[in-house]
Amino acid sequence: EIVLTQSPGTLSLSPGERATVSCRASQSVSSTYLAWFQQTPGQAPRLLIYGASRRATGIPDRFSGSASGTDFTLAISRLEPEDSAVYFCQLYGSSRWTFGQGTKVEIK
């Protein structure tokens, strides 16, 4: 079973700053199946990035994703107050979809 480890657990930044969220997979898998989601309180997760670096429909270009081996990164440039949320990575492997434990991004 693939384990996804996200870091940091919480990120506290000011508006306009850049946020970087990391996700490390316990084994090598195709980045084709790597996605990032945003979840705000009381809401369902929202697809941000799929295929490691492709933005979903309607997602601002402030959000970007990248991959290097088993390491995946979500970057949010020019943070805005509405970016305050929990961010999850997701990956397919070992016959199942697995999610990371989440990174909370707080806007000061």
Within positions 10 to 39, which residues make up the interface with other proteins, using CB under 8 A?
32-33, 35, 37
Q: Check binding of 72 to other proteins (CB under 8 A).
A: no
Total residues contacting other proteins by CB under 8 A comes to 27
Instruction: Tell me how far, at minimum, the Cβ of 50 lies from other proteins, in Å.
Output: 5
Stretch that binds other proteins, among 13-21, 62-70, 77-85, 96-104 (CB under 8 A): 96-104
Instruction: Tell me how far, at minimum, the Cβ of 51 lies from other proteins, in Å.
Output: 4
Stretch that binds other proteins, among 21-29, 49-57, 68-76, 77-85 (CB under 8 A): 49-57
| Burial class of residue 35, CB neighbours in 10 A (0-12, 13-18, 19+) | buried
Rounded alpha-carbon distances, angstroms, from residue 31 to 4, 6, 10, 23, 25: 13, 16, 24, 12, 10
Ranges of beta strands (E only) in 9-61 are 10-13, 19-25, 35-39, 46-50, 54-55
